[in-house]
Chains A and B, each alone.
Chain A
Amino acid sequence: MNFPIISALILLPTIGSIFLLFSQNKNENTVTVKYVALFTSIVNFILSIYLWYLFDRTTSDFQFVEDRIWLEGFVNYKVGIDGISILFIILTTFITPLCILSVNNSIKTRLRDFLIAILIMESFMIGVFCSLDLIIFYLFFEAGLIPMFLIIGIWGGSRRVYSAFKFFLYTLLGSVLMLVAIISIYWITGTTDVIQLYELGIDAKYQNLLWLAFFSSFAVKTPMWPVHTWLPDAHVEAPTAGSVLLAAILLKMAGYGFIRFSLGLFPIASDIYTPLIYTLSVIAIIFTSLIALMQEDMKKLIAYSSVAHMGFVTLGIFTIQQQGIEGSIIQMISHGLVSAALFFCVGVIYDRMHSRLISSYGGIVAVIPKYSVLFMLFTLASIGLPGTSGFIGEFLILMGAFKDSFLVAVIASLGVILGAAYMLWLYKRVVFGKLVNKDLEKMIDLNHSEYFILSCLAIPILFFGFYPEPLIDTIEVSVKNLIDTYNLSLMNK
Chain B
Amino acid sequence: MENLQLILPEIFIALSIMFLLIFGVFKKNSSEIIQNISLLVLLVTAVIVFNETLDVKKITLFNGGVIIDYLSSLMKIITLLAAFIVLVISKSYLKIFKIFKIEYPILILSSVLGMMIMISSNDLMVFYMGLELQSLALYVLATFNRDQLKSSEAGLKYFVLSALSSGLLLYGCSLIYGFSGSTNFDVIANELNSNEYVLTFGIVFILVGLSFKISAVPFHMWAPDVYEGSPTSVTLFFTMVPKIAALTVFIRFLYVPFLNLIDQWQMILIFLSIASMLFGAIAAIGQKNIKRLAAYSSIGHIGYVLAGLATGTNEGIQSSVMYISIYIIMNLGLFSCLLMMKRNNEYYEDIDDLSGLSKNHPLLSLSLLIILFSLAGIPPMAGFFAKLYIFKTVIEQSMYFLAIVGLLSTVIAAFYYLRIIKIIYFDKEKEKFDTDHGSWLKFSLTFSTILILLYFIFPTQLVQVVSRINII
**Interface of A with B (CB < 8 Å)?**
69-72, 74, 113, 135, 138-139, 142-143, 145-146, 149-150, 153-154, 160-161, 164-165, 168-169, 172-173, 176-177, 179-180, 183-184, 186-187
Contact = CB atoms under 8 A, between A and B. Distances in A.
A462 B415 CA distance: 44
Given A71-B460, A154-B425, A173 B408 contact: yes
B213 to A, nearest CB: 30
A146 B388 contact: no
B392 interface: yes
A186 B378 contact: no
Given A142-B379, A187-B396, A177 B404 contact: yes
B395 A187 contact: yes
Contacts of B456: 139
Nearest to A176: B407
Interface string B407-436: 110110011001001100110000000000
A51 B326 CA distance: 39
Interface in B414-469: 414-415, 418, 421-422, 425-426, 456, 459-460, 463-464
A394 B456 CA distance: 41
B400 interface: yes
Contacts of A176: 407-408, 410-411
B379 A165 contact: no
Given A72-B460, A187-B395, A139 B379 contact: yes
A113 B358 CA distance: 11
Contact of B404 (A113, A172, A180): A180
Contacts of B362: 113
A177 B463 contact: no
Contact of B414 (A138, A143, A150, A168): A168
Nearest to A152: B426
A71 B380 CA distance: 13
Contact of A149 (B404, B415, B418): B418
Nearest to B422: A161
Given A70-B459, A165-B418, A180 B400 contact: yes
B379 A164 contact: no
B426 A154 contact: yes
B391 interface: yes
A71 B415 contact: no
B379 A138 contact: yes
A360 to B, nearest CB: 27
A179 B391 contact: yes
A440 to B, nearest CB: 32
A153 B403 CA distance: 30
B373 interface: yes
B422 A172 contact: no
Contact of A160 (B392, B407, B414, B426): B426
Contacts of A186: 392
**CB-based closest 9 A-B pairs:** A176-B407, A139-B379, A72-B460, A183-B395, A153-B426, A173-B411, A142-B379, A143-B379, A172-B411
Contacts of A184: 395, 400
A150 B422 contact: no
Contacts of B378: 142-143, 145-146, 172
Given A139-B384, A165-B415, A183-B391, 7 more contacts: A135-B388, A142-B379, A153-B421, A160-B426, A165-B418, A165-B422, A172-B411
A150 B425 contact: yes
A154 B379 CA distance: 21
A24 B418 CA distance: 29
B391 A143 contact: no
Contacts of B422: 153, 161, 164-165
A234 B268 CA distance: 42
A116 B373 CA distance: 17
Contact of A183 (B373, B380, B392, B415): B392
B415 A180 contact: no
Contact of B426 (A145, A161, A179, A183): A161
Most buried by A among B385, B388, B404, B408: B388
A143 B378 CA distance: 7
Nearest to B409: A176
A161 B362 CA distance: 20
Contacts of B379: 138-139, 142-143
A169 B281 CA distance: 14
15 contacts: A69-B460, A71-B385, A138-B379, A139-B380, A139-B456, A142-B379, A153-B425, A165-B418, A169-B414, A176-B410, A179-B388, A180-B395, A180-B404, A186-B392, A187-B395
Contacts of A168: 414, 418
Contacts of A70: 459-460
Contacts of B404: 177, 180
B238 to A, nearest CB: 30
Contact of B391 (A145, A154, A180): A180
Interface string B363-391: 00000000001000011100011001001
Contacts of A173: 408, 411
Contacts of B392: 74, 183, 186
A404 B315 CA distance: 48
A177 B459 contact: no
A113 to B, nearest CB: 8
B407 A143 contact: no
Contacts of B459: 70-71
Interface string B123-155: 000000000000000000000000000000000
A72 B415 contact: no
A71 to B, nearest CB: 5
Interface string B181-192: 000000000000
A142 B381 CA distance: 11
A173 B385 CA distance: 18
A142 to B, nearest CB: 5
Nearest to A154: B425
Contacts of A138: 379
Contacts of B425: 150, 153-154
A153 B421 CA distance: 10
B307 to A, nearest CB: 13
Contacts of B384: 139, 142
A179 B418 contact: no
A183 B422 CA distance: 31
A187 B395 CA distance: 8
Contacts of B391: 179-180, 183
A143 B377 CA distance: 10
A139 B388 CA distance: 11
A249 to B, nearest CB: 19
B400 A172 contact: no
A79 B293 CA distance: 40
A69 B415 CA distance: 34
Most buried by A among B379, B410, B418, B456: B379
